[in-house]
Structure 1
């Protein structure tokens, strides 16, 4: 049993507006279908267990890039959109927030009836993962959301979230089933987090072993410690997206591909002619969520440049662009199902071309000006936030700004 990592996120309040929730469900389904078609169900289950990828998925879907709300909204969107096609897709999503989390064991037993899996054993795994993070390890965070993703082959991931009302932070825990072991005998590969004072850890063999482990850890080479720390993602308290939150070189390469490249020069992108540069920008980031390697997700804030955020950070959600992205993905998936995968290959190539451009790319412009330009032009793309539609700016002229 391995827990893949965990994430600390600032608490945010409010609900996801219907206009965004419906689009998140559609995009979540499309991304899931493409991953399963291209890489298989086990790959999708493994990605769910990666806190960096999960955060990037939420950002590319238009949720607030760093808030605790990503967990609830992404889990809810995937459950609503995946379960109706579970028999075809071979992926099942159980649980959720509050009372829905308590229904997880029964839902898993029902999955067992459908698939032939041992539903009682899955239910046991659900209960134990929740108990370990909520009771066996008492770190100041109380679990209030528990979700269980399982494939028809029996591979599963758990995503659950706890809340610390004193620090106004939530902590998300990710588990991935690799091989069954004793849940109370050091089941975690690593546990990192902000100092909460004394922590009760009943998964430790005994206190002497824990002390020996701390001493051993202090003697390790720094590069080994840094490697382990890469499993921990702590999102900042500030709501706006700042330059330090993203890899400017990667973001700049994405924008350069979208706005300064003649798409006709790429033979494998011919099928995307007619789709505007702004949609190419979104499709490139969606392509990276689907086809990118783990190292590409160290800065989830970058993926908010696909479809913005419902609270207007880094800019309002461009509904016209969002719908064009969904249309291209949906059309590509339907074509791939009947053996015509040219559009899917074109979408995949966006990630490859952007990564190639990034190698020699040097950003040299003001990050804040880039965001200002996106906000100023948001009205053109049907920009929307929880406060309503984006308005046309008073200034009659906009400077042409970019990261290059």
Structure 2
């Protein structure tokens, strides 16, 4: 069933994803997609993309800025690059993107339809309707600038699109899912994610059916000039009243750049770290036998495994998943490229063997996730500042890199919570 899943605040950030990260996001995004399709099927992958909390967590585990609107652009871009060569195998096609790319979506859908036997023209119309609903029918102050349309060979689809309010430096992401949609103007959204900017006029809500019909009747009977005069007469007498629409769960992505303890479910984080320490030596040394897989990589793999296997309720704190591979802006710490590359190698090995019917390595990852859930009842560990400080201390040996450059050896600062690298200045 289609249902409104919630909303979230997203700080609006500019800039580009550096090539060294974009290439890795492309590889990891494609591998995670394949793992989900192997384990749960294409329909479940679409449902994940339509869930705003999972989508944000997906971007976080790939090393993007954990709270940023840029996750939407980078994830759609990474999937488009990574899944295009696999479209024949997976039957998943990613269209659209940001700016000019979004306007090319209808043409891309028509071409896909001709290639795989879908009604490409109908999909193109759907794409335009979805964009119109979120740009015209939902009057929330956000101008659309990104439109991603993901469709499968059997005609099922998900749309992720995003609007911006430049004046308030906020973004809003909208999620659509074809499953269960019977009308484009009766509550079709799976979720709307973004900052609440006062009262939203949502003419696509099923409760607005009477309003839509009345507007058409008024336009036919009175004409536009009479309507303008009536509005002018009513406006001075207008009063504010409480909205009848109930509050929905929403994810609040704060403006601060650093990851703080209140942003993370520490019990789950400690359970993940404990599971990596407990299962890692047993499973990864004796079963995977992947050269170079150390304890730090197993921690990252445990978080990737949760993205693959976790239920929707487990993604209420996307910031936690940024602790797998850090962030390009050094928050919570620089991207450990050696760890990232090991994660890609292990996941690629597991997926490749699973395609051949040998799922032992995929089961290792699932056991890692299962163990973490069991440990949640009693796992304890250091506070987040200690964990992050430890990552900074080891960043140089892990190949730490950010948009500011490579990480060098660190020297202790007066603030014991976070070492600083040599030559680093306060920003």
Instruction: Give the TM-score, by structure 2 length.
Output: 0.84
Q: 1:234 aligns with which of 252, 276, 282?
A: 252
- Asked if 1:20 is matched to 2:21, the reply is yes
Q: Which residue of 2 aligns with 1:221?
A: none
Matches within 5 A, 1:267-282: 270-271=287-288, 275-282=293-300
Matches within 5 A, 1:22-101: 22-101=23-102
Matched residues in 2 for 1:272 and 1:295: separation? 33
Q: For structure 1, which segment, 162-171 or 328-337, has the greater mean C-alpha deviation from structure 2 after superposition?
A: 328-337
Matches within 5 A, 1:1-400: 4-188=5-189, 194-203=195-204, 204-207=208-211, 229-230=248-249, 232-258=250-276, 260-261=277-278, 263-265=280-282, 270-271=287-288, 275-363=293-381, 365-395=382-412
Displacement after TM superposition at 1:257 (Å) = 2.5
For the residue of structure 1 that corresponds to 2:410, the secondary structure is: coil
Displacement after TM superposition at 1:162 (Å) = 0.2
Matched residues in 2 for 1:192 and 1:271: separation? 39
Matched residues in 1 for 2:67 and 2:243: separation? 34
Displacement after TM superposition at 1:207 (Å) = 4.8
Question: Against the structure 1 CA distance between its residues 87 and 2, is the aligned structure 2 distance closer, same or farther, given a 3 Å change threshold?
Answer: farther
Residue ranges of structure 2 left out of the alignment (5+ in a row): 215-241, 419-427
Matched residues in 2 for 1:146 and 1:262: separation? 41
Question: Against the structure 1 CA distance between its residues 268 and 354, is the aligned structure 2 distance closer, same or farther, given a 3 Å change threshold?
Answer: farther
Displacement after TM superposition at 1:267 (Å) = 9.3
For the residue of structure 1 that corresponds to 2:397, the secondary structure is: helix
For the residue of structure 2 that corresponds to 1:144, the secondary structure is: strand
Displacement after TM superposition at 1:183 (Å) = 1.6
Bigger radius of gyration, 1 or 2? Answer: 2
Conserved 8 A contact 1:264-1:273? no
For the residue of structure 2 that corresponds to 1:24, the secondary structure is: helix
Displacement after TM superposition at 1:368 (Å) = 1.3
Displacement after TM superposition at 1:355 (Å) = 1.0
Conserved 8 A contact 1:279-1:325? yes
For the residue of structure 2 that corresponds to 1:296, the secondary structure is: helix
Conserved 8 A contact 2:175-2:191? no
Question: Against the structure 1 CA distance between its residues 312 and 215, is the aligned structure 2 distance closer, same or farther, given a 3 Å change threshold?
Answer: closer
Matched residues in 2 for 1:58 and 1:191: separation? 17
- 1:1-58 residue CA offsets vs partner (Å, 9 max, x unmatched): 6555444310112111111000000000100111111111111111110000000000
How many pairs align?
A: 385
Displacement after TM superposition at 1:264 (Å) = 4.1
Question: Against the structure 1 CA distance between its residues 72 and 189, is the aligned structure 2 distance closer, same or farther, given a 3 Å change threshold?
Answer: closer
Matched residues in 2 for 1:193 and 1:107: separation? 28
Displacement after TM superposition at 1:339 (Å) = 1.8
Matched residues in 2 for 1:400 and 1:368: separation? 6
RMSD, aligned CA: 2.7
Q: For structure 1, which segment, 185-194 or 129-138, has the greater mean C-alpha deviation from structure 2 after superposition?
A: 185-194
Residue ranges of structure 1 left out of the alignment (5+ in a row): 219-224
Matched residues in 2 for 1:352 and 1:22: separation? 30
Matched residues in 2 for 1:267 and 1:240: separation? 32
Displacement after TM superposition at 1:234 (Å) = 2.5
Question: Against the structure 1 CA distance between its residues 68 and 119, is the aligned structure 2 distance closer, same or farther, given a 3 Å change threshold?
Answer: same
Displacement after TM superposition at 1:216 (Å) = 6.1
Matched residues in 2 for 1:202 and 1:7: separation? 20
Question: Against the structure 1 CA distance between its residues 142 and 179, is the aligned structure 2 distance closer, same or farther, given a 3 Å change threshold?
Answer: same
- 1:49-102 residue CA offsets vs partner (Å, 9 max, x unmatched): 000000000000000001011000010000011012101111000000001001
- 1:118-155 residue CA offsets vs partner (Å, 9 max, x unmatched): 11111111111111111111101000000001111111
For the residue of structure 2 that corresponds to 1:379, the secondary structure is: coil
Instruction: Give the TM-score, by structure 1 length.
Output: 0.89
